[in-house]
Amino acid sequence: MIVLACASAGAYYESVRSLKEQVGGLISALTTSTGEQVRNDIDLMSSISLSQPPRRIVDHPVVA
């Protein structure tokens, strides 16, 4: 009975450890891809704002 309890506790420990590794990998992948996306967005925004002069918005009055 004690051997069975130790074996099931060992299997439980391994499954929890594996799950923690998978979740950690997922979180790491998400934060890495989000960080890269933010950097890409910042690069894109800065390149657009530097390459194009600001535009004037002209309002045309509506003639009724």
Largest CA distance in the chain: 92
First to last CA, the chain: 92
Task: Look at residue 45 in the predicted model and tell me its pLDDT.
Answer: 73
Two structure tokens written together for 64: 């009724």
> Could you read off the pLDDT tens digit of each residue along the chain, which spans 64 residues?
555 566 677 777 778 788 888 877 777 777 666 677 777 777 777 666 555 566 666 666 666 5
Task: Look at residue 5 in the predicted model and tell me its pLDDT.
Answer: 61
Concatenated DSSP letters of 26-51: HHHHHHHHHHHHHHHHHHHHHHHHHH
Entry pTM: 0.39
